[in-house]
Structure 1
Amino acid sequence: MENRPMPTIILLTFSNIFMTTAWYWHLKGGEAKPLWLVVLISWGIALIEYCLAVPANRIGYASGWSAGQLKIVQEALALVVFAGFMVWVLGEPLHWRHFAAFGCIMAGVAFLFVGR
């Protein structure tokens, strides 16, 4: 199969949006809900994440990406998605440390794709 990074990246981006929501939605306004209900709702949201992540990884792997490349791209996307969620949903500011950490992860992405 030819190298098709875009479907993999798009699916991983959307899967990260759902997983970030599943993990953190309840921190803003959901504290009054019982924990068992929060867990059930989060599992339902995470199911959508899995329905996107599994095909993303299969497409990427079939296109020649290694498991390590898939994982590091997923982690980089997770940071981007989480940064947006943190600012727009949770109302927390970004600091220079966030950007420095992101730079380190992006360096990891580069290391896995250099010479590929």
Structure 2
Amino acid sequence: MNGLYTIMLLILSNVFMTLAWYGHLKLQETGVASKWPLIGVIAFSWGIAFFEYCCQVPANRLGFEGNGGPFNLVQLKVIQECVSLGVFAVIANIMFQGQNLHWNHILAFFFIICAVYLVFMK
């Protein structure tokens, strides 16, 4: 069960992370944040990133085998990167409709999924 909670928290964490990293670009595009100083954009992103950490840290604690979870450190990192790219692809297609995925992006994601498979091999 800790594995499922870990992955759910990682997904939620990456939604916040993606919004923190790229949400201000959408706000700038719509004119909401076009006049914000850089320090304002940074503070805005930090505010969102706080919630990312509120999900990421518990995910790692629950999922880590040293705390009774099912994953070792390398597995946690590879899962996180895979989840990060998946969440990014979805949010980028929703928020930035002109940013389409091409065949090489799909192939790159496939190889990342292959990395997840390889990291779980005994």
Q: Could you tell me the TM-score, scaled by structure 2's length?
A: 0.88
Counterpart Cα distance in 2 of 1:15 and 1:29: 20
Equivalent residue number for residue 94 of structure 1: 101
The CA deviation at 1:26 is 1.2
Query: What CA RMSD, in Å, does the superposition of the two structures yield over aligned residues?
Result: 1.2
Q: Deviations over 1:41-73 (max 9, x none)?
A: 100100100010000000000213111000000
Amino acid at match of 1:12: L
Q: Does 1:50 align with 2:53?
A: yes
The CA deviation at 1:29 is 3.1
Q: Does 1:40 align with 2:43?
A: yes
Q: Deviations over 1:12-47 (max 9, x none)?
A: 000000000000011123251221111001001001
Gaps of 5+ in 2: none
Equivalent residue number for residue 15 of structure 1: 13
Counterpart Cα distance in 1 of 2:24 and 2:54: 22
For the 8 Å contact 2:3–2:70, the answer to whether it is kept is: no
The 4+ residue runs of structure 1 with deviation greater than 4 A are none
Identity, % of aligned positions:
44
**Total equivalences in the alignment:** 113
Q: Could you tell me the TM-score, scaled by structure 1's length?
A: 0.92
Equivalent of residue 91 in structure 2, options 67, 81, 85 = 85
Equivalent residue number for residue 70 of structure 1: 76
Q: Of the two structures, which has the highest relative contact order with CA contacts closer than 8 Å and spacing of 6 or more?
A: 1
Amino acid at match of 2:82: A
The CA deviation at 1:90 is 1.3
Q: Which 10-residue stretch deviates more, 52-61 or 28-37?
A: 28-37
